[in-house]
Structure 1
Amino acid sequence: MSRHFSNGGPGPSRRAVLGAAAVALAAGRRGDAGTLALEGGSPAVTLAKAAHAEASRWPLYGSDEEAAVLEVLRNPGYGPIDDLERDWRERFGAPFAKAHCNGTSAIAAMFFALGLPPGSEVMVPSYTFFASIVPMRLFGLVPVFVDVDPRTLNFDVADARRRLTPNVKAILPVHWMGLPCPMDDLSAFAQEKGLILLEDVAHAPGASYRGKPLGAWGRMSIFSYQTTKPLPALEGGMGMYQERADYERATAFGHSDVPARFPADSRYRRYAGTGLGLKLRMNPMAAALARAQLGKLDARNAAGAAQVRRLNDRITQLPGLVEPPCPADATRIYYANNILFLDEATAGATRAAVVAALRAEGVQAREHRYPLQHKLPLYAEPEWWHHPPTIPELPGSDEANRTAIALPYFTSEAPELIEQYTRAFEKVWANRAKLS
């Protein structure tokens, strides 16, 4: 990831920003703005690197977060964890929620809560972070790799139908980069085949599908509060559960103190003081940070999406440049990057040539290739699995890696930068015949 993360620092002054924009306009009047920077022309993006850094700075912490952390320092205790869980249940309409020390531990607890016999399989995209998959092996579960739609990077239900085996007991879609998966189709597929529907919402807290929050569709779901995520608490995670039995089993796995609070009829209450294996408690300072960020989540998600629209609504009019389609009845958010795709035949230039030209113009673009899990060594080594995972061909995932372009996701208002990015794209497209 090429984003800049910091806790603050002054950005470029308004005078400097306007001055740089004036220089760019003057260059355009002189007639050299139409010549590609690769050929000696003036770059379309004239704002300094500091402007990019400020526009994509993350996390955004302020006085609310400082006050929340100071309160924990002055009154040490684990109360902030309970407060976060209460607020989370209210915000997402979930009957049960449990904070964990990170998103990966929340996933591990979720797999444990399934209580499936060793050898059970879980369908999951290969186009994901390792944490969506690797904890399966701790409980004898085995991944079945599913392809993604190469234009959304999300779980391909049609491919899942082709790869279904008698051992598959659950499916785990990942809402990639904040774009909702087709949860109605996934729910129907799960119900038809008698599968448990789970959700990985690490990239998409606050997004929704058909008016229902992501994370509330599955029987269980997880969220991440890691520093780069849309709701950053430096580290932390949340498990969300629709059924009491899942909540109690997942909680007992990593929280020895909490079972004492379970109802008297809970089969897991007797494990108070020992738990069932690990200590996954969230740091109370991280919980306080997450709670402060939760109150700003919707406003920040909306502001970020609006900024992406100001850029993408213009540049996706260019031939061959497309963005992941979002259903009209879904609300997406953005995380880490603004991903676009290039149809080289329609554009008349290769991805490599387009990215090189954009970078010469000052655009922080790159060819986006995400490591595919099924191609990594762990999955080809039988010693780690109840039975070896099938290593498939996933053409959609490969196509995505051949065609995706990553742009920065601007987390703060940057109208001058967006305007300059737009001019850079238009300039490159006007000269794209030279790139071929």
Structure 2
Amino acid sequence: MLQLSKPDRPIPRLPVFGWDTFSGTKASAMPSVLDAKCVLYTTSGRASIFQALRALNISSASSVLVPTYHCPTMVAPIVALGALPIFCPIDSSGHIPVDSILKLARADTKAIIAPHFFGLPQPMGKLRQWCDENGVALIEDCAHALFGKAGSRNIGAWGDLAIASLTKFLPVSEGGCLICNHTTPGFIALQQHSTISQIKAALDIIEEGARFVAMPGLNYFVNGLFALKRRLRRTSGTPEDPTVRNFMEEKERLGAINPRLADTQMAYACQWIALHAARQRIVSNRRHNYAYLAEALSNSPHFRPLLRQLPRDCAPYVFPLWVEHPDPAYLILRERRIPIFRWDRLWNSTPVIPGDVGKAWSHHVYQLVCHQDLRQEELDLIVANLWELLG
């Protein structure tokens, strides 16, 4: 019987670097945003949004349309440039209806950010047409969707610009990208990390892989080296101030923009992994894990999959689960180190709009991990804890 307390070791929330990273077919039959002709590598998804807005000359004289369901990292770059975010409702499939935009767009509206939530492709045709007719730039948010097709085009090909977050799909310590379909990025000049930062990024990737025992034969040796490094750090120099650390963690969680990182190119080690990781394994494992969770978490009156059946041309970021009474189980699951999360910290000015599901999703939708490096026993443990607390 499964032990429904904290797992023996943390279940990885994101992909983990290991031998399996390069196992199998490098190419995937499913297209990737990384295959676009013009890809600019950044340090994160939020940095990519920041660069996209800056490329479009977004300023204090501009407003930008964004969905009511969001992570603060989507809104923070808009505010950092002095522009006004205007929140649009979403329907039960996560789509931004064009008729709602007609009522909200203003004369100073220069762009709209349209996401593929959870990695599930959203229809973009009508939105693309409206943007063309009204001179509004479409920023296609592919932070949750590194692979797939949305209708007749590849994901990432609908927007004038598109952004992606590589840490959600690849075992890298940092990474985002900006895809330029109709806007030339020649004037965007990103600086390189220092040599020390480049080395640190590579070591962080290896350390994380060893922590989750993803490199059989080397895990013990690598963990020993990094344990020595941490011991030396504690004995040489001033201990880290937990107040400063907690403040920085809170800023990170709320999406604050670090100007230096926003203008820095992704570390070389992360770029190399992004270009050489085996993609077919990523796609097939994520689809398999999603299907397993959909089957295992069905038939309850207290929760349900937000989307039971995956579309054919997508690789999900997470598995969205609608929970009728999400509290206090959510906090208990987090205390047990079960890797679930939700977007319950919306931007302060997010309004209540009739017919909108965004605010309801922020409270009721659990996002469950389904990435390619999960083991079956970890999936079983997630399912068992959910049924115990909610089912």
Same fold (TM over 0.5): yes
CA distance in 1, matches of 2:310, 2:339: 28
Seen in structure 2, the aligned counterparts of structure 1 residues 397 and 50 have a Cα distance that, compared at 3 Å, is: same
In the alignment, is the contact (CA less than 8 A) between 2:339 and 2:369 conserved in 1? yes
| 2:273 aligned residue | 289
Q: Which residue of 2 aligns with 1:223?
A: 164
2:360 alignment partner AA? E
- Which of 145, 150, 154 matches 2:87? 145
TM-score (norm 2): 0.65
- Percent identity at matched positions? 21
Letter in 2 for 1:323: P
In terms of fraction of residues, the more helix-rich structure is 1
Q: 1:297 to 1:51 in 2, by over 3 A?
A: farther
Q: CA deviation at 1:172?
A: 0.8
Contact 1:145 / 1:374 at 8 angstroms: preserved in 2? no
Alignment partner, residue 142 of structure 2: 201
Give 2:10's aligned residue. 53
- Change in CA separation of 1:47 and 1:117 when aligned onto 2, cut-off 3 Å: closer
Report the 3-state secondary structure (helix = DSSP H, G, I; strand = E; otherwise coil) of the residue aligned with 1:191.
Answer: helix
Q: Check whether the contact 2:32–2:155 (CA below 8 A) recurs between aligned residues.
A: no
Between the aligned partners of 1:130 and 1:372, the Cα distance in structure 2 is: 6
Closer, same or farther in 2 for the Cα pair 1:426/1:187, shift >3 Å?
A: same
Contact 1:183 1:209 in 2 (8 A): yes
1:96 touches 1:242 (CA, 8 Å); kept in 2?
yes
Q: How does 1:158-177 map to 2 (within 5 A)?
A: 158-177=99-118
CA shift, 1:135, in A, is 2.4
Q: Trace 1:274-285 onto structure 2 (pairs within 5 A).
A: 279-285=263-269
Q: Which protein is bigger by CA-based radius of gyration?
A: 1
Asked if 2 retains the 8 angstrom alpha-carbon contact of 1:171 and 1:195, the reply is yes
What is the aligned partner in structure 1 of residue 27 from structure 2? none
2: CA distance between counterparts of 1:419 and 1:281? Answer: 38
Q: Which has the higher contact order (CA 8 A, sep 6+)?
A: 2
Distance in 1 between the 2:3 and 2:269 partners? 40
Match of 2:185 in 1: 247
**Residue 320 of structure 1, CA deviation:** 5.1
Shift of 1:207: 3.1
Match of 2:327 in 1: 352
Aligned ranges for residues 31-430 of structure 1 at < 5 Å?
Answer: 45-46=2-3, 49-50=6-7, 53-54=10-11, 56=12, 58-63=14-19, 92-115=34-57, 118-149=60-91, 151-153=92-94, 155-210=96-151, 212-226=153-167, 229-243=168-182, 245-249=183-187, 251-252=188-189, 254=190, 279-293=263-277, 296-319=278-301, 321-325=303-307, 331-335=313-317, 337-342=318-323, 344=324, 350-352=325-327, 364=338, 368-375=342-349, 392-394=351-353, 395-409=356-370, 411-412=372-373, 414-416=375-377, 418=379
The answer to which of 174-183 and 136-145 deviates more is: 136-145
Could you say if the C-alpha distance between residues 304 and 51 of structure 1 is closer, same or farther in structure 2, counting changes exceeding 3 Å? farther
State the 1:326 CA deviation.
7.6
Distance 1:417 1:108, change over 3 A: closer
Instruction: Tell me, in whole angstroms, the C-alpha distance in 2 between the residues paired with 1:283 and 1:363.
Output: 29
- Answer yes or no: is the 8 Å Cα contact 1:93–1:216 preserved in 2: no
Separation in 2, partners of 1:49, 1:125? 35
CA 1:373–1:46: 2 relative to 1, 3 Å: same
The verdict on how the C-alpha distance between 1:159 and 1:365 changes in structure 2, with shifts beyond 3 A counting, is farther
Deviations 1:182-204 (A, max 9, x none): 22232233234332211121222
- Structure 2 residue matching 1:352: 3-state secondary structure: coil
Residue type of the alignment partner of 1:300: I
Taking a change above 3 Å as real, the CA distance of residues 159 and 285 of structure 1, as seen in their structure-2 partners, is same
Note the alpha carbon deviations across 1:247-274, whole angstroms, 9 max, x for none. 213x24x359xxxxxxxxxxxxxxxxxx
- Pair 1:327–1:314, CA change in 2 (3 A): closer
Task: Please give the root-mean-square deviation of Cα atoms over the aligned residues, in Å.
Answer: 3.8
CA distance in 1, matches of 2:385, 2:5: 15
Q: How many Å separate the matches in 2 of 1:307 and 1:90?
A: 19
Aligned length: 311
Deviation at 1:179, TM superposition (A): 2.2
Give the Cα–Cα distance (whole angstroms) in 2 for the partners of residues 64 and 423 of structure 1.
26
| Partners of 2:6 and 2:337 within 8 A in 1 | no
The question of whether the paired residues in 2 share the 8 Å contact of 1:363 and 1:424 is answered with no
Deviation at 1:351, TM superposition (A): 3.6
The answer for unaligned runs of 5 or more in structure 2 is 23-30, 193-261
Secondary structure at the counterpart of residue 327 of structure 2: helix
Going from structure 1 to structure 2, the CA distance change for 1:126 and 1:51 (only over 3 Å counts) comes to same
| Offset of residue 109 of structure 1 | 1.8
Residue pair 2:291, 2:309 contacting (<8 A) in 1 also: no
- The amino acid of 2:170's aligned partner reads L
* Post-superposition offset of 1:352: 3.2
- TM-score, normalization by structure 1: 0.60
CA distance in 1 between partners of 2:137 and 2:109 (Å): 9
- Can you give the 5+ residue segments of structure 1 that lack an aligned partner in the other structure? 1-23, 25-44, 67-88, 257-277, 345-349, 376-390
User: How far is the alpha carbon of 1:341 from its aligned partner?
Assistant: 0.8
The one-letter amino acid of 2:362's match is N
Match of 2:197 in 1: none
